[in-house]
Structure 1
Amino acid sequence: MMKTANGPFPMETIYTWQSIDENHTRMTLRNIGNPNGFNKIMSLFIAPMMRKANMKDLKKIKSILEQE
């Protein structure tokens, strides 16, 4: 788990790892934040950008882990 008070609003990121079988692991990433005021409006625009950045990072991690 990772928490931050910096940025547009305080946020918590939770990583969960689950073994699927001998060769596969599922990683779940969950971001939780509680924007207020102006940041609540901005969160409508920030959320899709965060999802895109997270997917990019996860694809890079996957490619690194799967290199032989």
Structure 2
Amino acid sequence: MENNIRQLRKAKKLSQEEIAKLCKVSRQTINAIENNKYDPSLQLAFDIAKQLEVTVDELFIPSK
């Protein structure tokens, strides 16, 4: 599933390692999600959205 996580994370000036630590997952998990190789669980999507201060919708709705 395509997502905006990389762009949102970079806008917050967070590394993959930092967001992974905040969400209690590995950096590899964040990398796989950003590269559309892994779809996060609903709970993980909520955790990522919370750390990036956006809604879950904003993680996955294509930006214009």
- Greater strand share, structure number: 1
Q: Which has the larger radius of gyration?
A: 1
Higher RCO (CA < 8 A, seq sep 6+)? 2
Same structural fold, with TM-score higher than 0.5 when normalized by the shorter chain: no
- Give TM-score, length-normalised by structure 2: 0.29
